[in-house]
A and B are shown apart, each in its own frame.
Chain A
Amino acid sequence: MNAAVAADAIRDFQDTFAAVRREIGKVVVGHERAIEIILTAFFGGGHVLIEGVPGIGKTLIVRSLAEALNLSFSRVQFTVDLMPADITGTRIISEGADGRREFVFVPGPVFAHILLADEINRATPKTQSALLEAMAEQQVTVAGKTYPLAPPFFVLATLNPIEMEGTYQLPEAQLDRFLFKVLLDYPTEPELERILATTTGAEVSTVTPVLPRETAAARVERLKQLVRQVLVAPHIERYVAALVRLTATEETASRYVTYGSSPRGGQALILGAKVLALLDGRPHVAAEDVERVAPAALRHRLVLSFAAGAAGIDAEQIVAHVLASARRLRP
């Protein structure tokens, strides 16, 4: 790839990203930063966990994303009685044209490009774990048979921070598989006014697909491949490694964090930074890109101690301390 081709590819990426964001912005008022992080995770090849109170547009964001990209979308409302087969699919006995009966696999909602796992913490750990294989390896195994998921595969799970009664905290292994965790705040007053104006009128805004349905998946895969090609210098790799280590060894972190980030945290930092580098028109990652994605990439990977809860320290504050310490290590 020569310089001109690379520049064109980066420009195409920027245009696609901007168009999708613009389309989502038509129906989702506010949450610009959250939308950027979600799109970053999408093009980085990861999954996103969204935490926010009900009614602030979590589902709308995901559905709009699927519509803008013209990709298949399915939604699973997680409840306590949801079974793994309800997600992955199951084998049923089906009678063929010749009268023979055989087991036929009926794909579950996981077989979509974009899966919304709504209120994922209401399902049992067993059901939650049914997503593990799909998220990590983009395949599901049912009755000993493995079924690949069509790329791109993107899981967007939501968590409701209130009504914790009857919920099951996500296991650390599953949390670690989300590239980013996004916190959705209440809309501001002007945003709320705009929400009311756009959702209660006669005309409801709709999302126009950015990509044609036939080539959407392939196009998205090409863009994801471009993200992987972004250059990362050794000093950035050292910086990310130091940042990940500091989540356990930094002074504040060592006091309030039982377990720091896993290596997946470093991968999330690099992948997210690569997307941000492309958005900035650069073929390489800068330390600033890493720092921009650090809160979203690290906040859900820290296992806080009891002392942190007692002291009112949350993961956001720990990450801020870690970033402040890591900045001194920047070359």
Chain B
Amino acid sequence: MARTTASGAVEAIQRQVRRVRRRQRLHELQRVFYLLSGLGTGAAAVLVLLALGASPPVFARALPAVAGVAVGAALVVVRDARRRWTPAADLAHWIDRRSGLTGRLATLVELGRRGDANAPLLPLLVEQNVTRLERWRADRMVAHRVPRAALATAASGAALLGLVVALAPRLRPPAPEVVVGEVPGLPLEGVEVTGDRLAVAPVDPEDDGSTSRPAVDETSAVAQLQERIRRELLGERTRAASVAWTQARDGADPEGGGEAADEVGLEPAPPPAGRASPEDRTGADERHVATETRSVEDDARGLLEQPRDGDDESAAAGGAAAGAGNQPDPHLFGPPSSGAAGTERFALSLAARIHAGRGGSGEAAAPPPPSPAEPRADLAPGQRAEAAVARTPVPLAYEALVRRLFAREGRE
């Protein structure tokens, strides 16, 4: 009878051990899941913020850092989980330590496994364990079914990500500010602040142009990721802008295009007087892309080779020369580009010269040799020597604006 009672008690103890094990493991698994979820969503929120607000070089640098931190933290979580994960054989010891049983449970479990059922003091050990069953009930050993701190972490991460996504349209980068004009005493240069912003900033007198600015490969995975995030979160407006520019350029629906452009805060470019055929445009685009990689000297040479008024293709075909009359040549800055806004860039093939200290997208630009056909008198005080503005890759969405600005510059 005593043996039966003892074995029944041992059974009850073993059942409780199994219950604790189930609860503890479920708790640990949940904890890891929630922590990793919180980590992932938090990192995603940071990435989205960076993609929306940071320039491509900054994003390119921040992405590995954020990914590294996230992966490191995930490894810490997993390592901690491995450390906390209690094998079945050690569970009795874990319970012993947690509930101050002084090895009673572990001894009983191990002796039971070894088959020491006839030890004289074993019944007392069983009885002592039975009287202490309440002390290590499953709900006492693992107080909460859900790891609250980990769950809060996961919820916080998800909330942060949701907030960022919800506020994404408001986080759209501002339209570029292009300063047109002269700052007395300071030469100006075109600076590509980000991949899609153009600013004209004073030339640093110390900058001799020998140091190259960091460039981002726009075809890289990082750039594509940033572009994709922007497209996904700012997609409606980006598409509207694209439609606006396309319509404004083509003149197909000026009213509709104007609405779309107004929506994005930009004005459509005036319709060109003479437009090249799509094939010509494609060829011109390819030519422009290829010339982006050329040096400043190539740019200067290219400028000289641009068609002049009256010798363009339309003139050759017997029509009026483009730009004839009192209007500027519509091809003064090359034919308009085609393509989806936000994914491509265009470069002005400038056929005019404006006053600038140095042109180009941050590259060293030596002033071209003075044209023998245009001998200049001495410059007035404060007047800058003329220099060609090198081509600057600009996102397609800003093409009309840039064209308009340069056209106005030309008229002045």
Contact = CB atoms under 8 A, between A and B. Distances in A.
Nearest to B109: A233
B183 interface: no
A3 B126 contact: yes
Given A282-B102, A286-B102, A233 B123 contact: no
A230 B121 contact: yes
A331 B102 CA distance: 12
A33 interface: no
A1 B121 contact: yes
Contacts of A285: 103, 107
A320 to B, nearest CB: 23
Contacts of A1: 120-121, 123
Contact of B102 (A7, A231, A235, A288): A288
Given A282-B104, A284-B103, A331-B106, A231 B123 contact: no
Among A6, A10, A283, which residue has the most Cβ atoms of chain B within 10 A? A283
Interface stretch (B111-119, B199-207, B218-226, B321-329): B111-119
Interface residues of B, number: 22
A137 B119 CA distance: 26
Contacts of A6: 120-121, 123-124
B313 interface: no
Given A229-B121, A284-B104, A235 B128 contact: no
Given A235-B106, A331-B106, A284 B121 contact: yes
Contacts of A234: 110-111, 114
Given A231-B119, A331-B90, A7 B124 contact: yes
A287 interface: yes
Contacts, number: 63
Interface in B146-200: none
B119 A3 contact: no
B6 to A, nearest CB: 8
Contacts of B102: 280, 282, 286, 288
B2 A2 contact: yes
Contacts of A233: 103, 106-107, 110-111
Interface residues of A, number: 22
B2 A231 contact: no
Given A6-B123, A230-B121, A287 B2 contact: no
Contacts of A287: 103
A282 B122 CA distance: 11
Nearest to A278: B121
A2 B119 CA distance: 10
- 5 tightest A-B CB contacts, nearest first: A283-B121, A6-B124, A233-B107, A286-B103, A3-B127
Interface of A: 1-3, 6-7, 10, 229-231, 233-236, 280, 282-288, 331
Interface of B: 2, 90, 93, 102-104, 106-107, 110-111, 114, 116, 119-128
15 contacts: A1-B120, A7-B124, A10-B124, A229-B120, A229-B121, A231-B111, A235-B106, A236-B103, A236-B107, A282-B102, A283-B128, A284-B104, A284-B107, A286-B102, A331-B90
Given A7-B127, A234-B110, 13 more contacts: A2-B2, A7-B124, A229-B119, A231-B121, A233-B103, A234-B111, A280-B102, A283-B122, A283-B125, A284-B104, A284-B121, A285-B103, A331-B93
